[in-house]
Structure 1
Amino acid sequence: MSELPVLVIGDKTVSSWSLRPWLALRQADIAFEERLLWLHRPAFRSEVARYSPSGRVPVLLHDGAVVWESLAILEYINETWLQGRGWPAERAARAHARAIAGEMHSGFAALRRELTLNLRRHGAPLDPGHDAAQDIRRIVAIWEDARARFGAGGAFLFGAFGCADAMYAPVALRFLVYGIALPPVAQAYVDAILALPAIGEWRAAAALETD
C-alpha cells in the first residue's frame, strides 16, 4: 500500500507557495500529513534541510519521491491521484491552463513584492504602484479570458477547480487583504476561491498562528 504523502509547508499566514499544493490536495480529498515549519524562526534552515534539497517549502514526500517545487508538486498530485483531472481534458484548454500556470509561477514580480501575502493584514486598501498595477491588469485579463473561453462548466478558470486555480488562489487572497478593486468577472472568481471550504480552513488556521 502506498504511504500517506507528507506535505511540508510554511506559516499559513504568509506562505503562498505552500497554499498551492495544500489546496490541490484538500480539493481532491487526498489524505496527507501536514508538517508546518515556521519560516521566521532561527531553526527553520536546519529543519527544512531535513526535507528539501532547495532549502525551501513546500516539499512533498511520498513513496521515496521528494518533490520540492510547487508546480512540480501539482503535476505529481495530478499524475498520482487525479488521473490527469487536474488539467482540462481538451488539448487546447489544457495547454492554455499550463501556460497561465507557468506565467503565474515565473512572473508578476512587482505584485509579489508590493502585495506580499499576509493574512493578518488590516488597514486601508492599497493603491498599487505602476508595476504592480500592470501585474494586476494582466492577471485580471488572464482570468477574464480563461473564464470566457473555457469556464462555462463551473465557477473556476476552466469550469471545474484545477491546478491553474491552485496556482492563482494566493492571488485571490492578496486581492482580498489589500482591498484591490476588481471588475465583475475577476471579483466573481475571487469570490469562488474564497468560498472554498479548504480556503476557509487555511484562513482559520492562519488566524491562530502567533509567529
Structure 2
Amino acid sequence: MLKLIIGNKAYSSWSLRGWLACKLSGLPFEEVVVPLYDESWDKRREGDEFAPSSGKVPILWDGDAVVWDSLAIVEYLNEKSGGDKFWPADPAARAMARSMAAEMHSGFAPLRRKHGMNIRQVYPPKQPDEDVLQDIGRIMEIWAQARARYGGDGEFLFGPFGAVDAMFAPVVTRFVTYSLPVARFAPAYMNAVLQHPFMQDWIAAAQAEDWVIEKFEQPAD
C-alpha cells in the first residue's frame, strides 16, 4: 500500500497538496502525520524514511519506490491511477492546467512567505505588502482565465476538482486566514474548494490537532 508521510495539517501546505493528490487518485494509502519542529524533529528527519527528501514532507512511498515534492507526487499518482483523474482531457485545457500548477509550485514566494498556512485561524483584514498584492493579482488573473475558458458548468478551475485545484487549495485557505482581498468572482470558487469533501476532512483533522507552533500562530506583519 502507498504510504504518505505529512506534517501538521494546520500548517503544512505542501503536505495538503500531496494528501489531496492521494485522495484524488482513489488509491488506498496509509497516512502518517509527523509533528513539525517538535523535540524529535531533527532526529526523525535523519531516519531512512526521510533520507530521499532530506527530511522534507510530504514524501510518498510505494514499496521501494519513493516520491517527494508535491508536484512529483501528483504526476506519479496520475500515472499510477490511470491518467484520467488529475488533468483535463482536452489538450489545450490540460496544457493550461499544468502551467498553472507549475507556476503555483515555483512562484508566489511573497504570499507564501508572509502569509503561512494556518487553517485554524482567521485574522482581521490588514493591508498586504505590495509584492503580496502582485501575487494575489496574478492568481486572480489565471483563475479567471481558467474559469472563463474551461470552467464550464463546474465549480472548479477546469470544471471538476483536479490537480490544479489541489495545488491552489492551500492558497485558498491563506486568503481566508488573512482576510486577503480577492476578485468578486473568487469567493464562489474558494467556497467550492473549502466545501469539497476532501478539504472538509483535512480541515476537521487540522482543527482536532493538539500541536501548536507559535511562529505560525501570528498574523502577518
Q: TM-score, normalised on structure 2? A: 0.89
Over 6 Å off, 4+ runs: none
The equivalent residue for 1:31 is 28
Q: C-alpha distance in 2, partners of 1:154/1:177?
A: 25
Which amino acid counterpart does residue 32 of structure 2 have in structure 1?
Answer: R
Deviation at 1:97, TM superposition (A): 0.8
Residues in 2 aligned to 1:22 and 1:129: alpha-carbon distance in whole angstroms: 30
How is 1:1-211 mapped onto 2 (pairs within 5 angstroms)?
A: 4-49=1-46, 50-52=48-50, 53-54=52-53, 55-211=55-211
- Measured in 2, the distance between the counterparts of 1:82 and 1:192 equals 25
**CA deviation vs aligned residue, 1:30-77 (integer Å, no higher than 9, x gap):** 321000111111312332343232210000001321001100000011
C-alpha distance in 1 between matches for 2:42 and 2:105: 23
CA shift, 1:188, in A, is 1.1
SS in 2 for 1:167: helix
Q: Secondary structure at the match of 2:149?
A: helix
Checking the alignment, whether the CA contact within 8 Å between 1:9 and 1:18 is kept in structure 2 is yes
Q: Note the C-alpha offset of 1:28.
A: 4.0
- The offset of 1:91, in angstroms, is 1.2
| Identity across the alignment (%) | 48
Residue 131 of structure 2 aligns to a residue in which SS?
helix
Unaligned runs of 5+ in 1: none
Q: Contact conserved, 1:87 with 1:162, CA < 8 A, in 2?
A: yes
Instruction: Decide whether the 8 Å contact of 2:122 with 2:179 is kept in 1.
Output: no
Structure 1 stretch 81-90 or stretch 199-208: which is displaced more? 81-90
Q: Does the aligned pair in 1 maintain the 2:24–2:86 contact within 8 Å?
A: no
Rounded to whole Å, the distance in 1 between the matches of 2:196 and 2:45 is 29
Aligned partners of 1:156, 1:175: CA distance in 2, in Å? 17
TM-score calculated relative to the size of structure 1:
0.93
Q: Specify the code of the residue in structure 1 equivalent to 2:109.
A: A
Task: Report the AA paired with residue 162 of structure 2.
Answer: G
- Report if aligned partners of 1:119, 1:203 keep a CA contact under 8 Å in 2: yes
TM-superposed CA distance for 1:27, in Å, is 3.5
Greater Cα offset, 169-178 or 182-191? 182-191
1:144-172 CA-to-partner distances (Å, cap 9, x unmatched) read 00000111041111111111111001000
My pick for the range that moved more, 59-68 or 10-19, is: 59-68
CA-CA distance at 1:180 after TM superposition: 1.8
Post-superposition CA distance 1:13-39 (Å, at most 9, x none)? 100000012112224433210001111
Unaligned runs of 5+ in 2: 212-221
In the TM superposition, residue 125 of structure 1 has moved relative to its aligned partner by 1.9
| AA aligned opposite 2:148 | A
Work out the CA distance in 2 between the residues paired with 1:5 and 1:151. Answer: 32
Q: Deviations along 1:157-205, whole A, 9 cap, x unmatched? A: 1111111111001000111111123223211110110111111111111
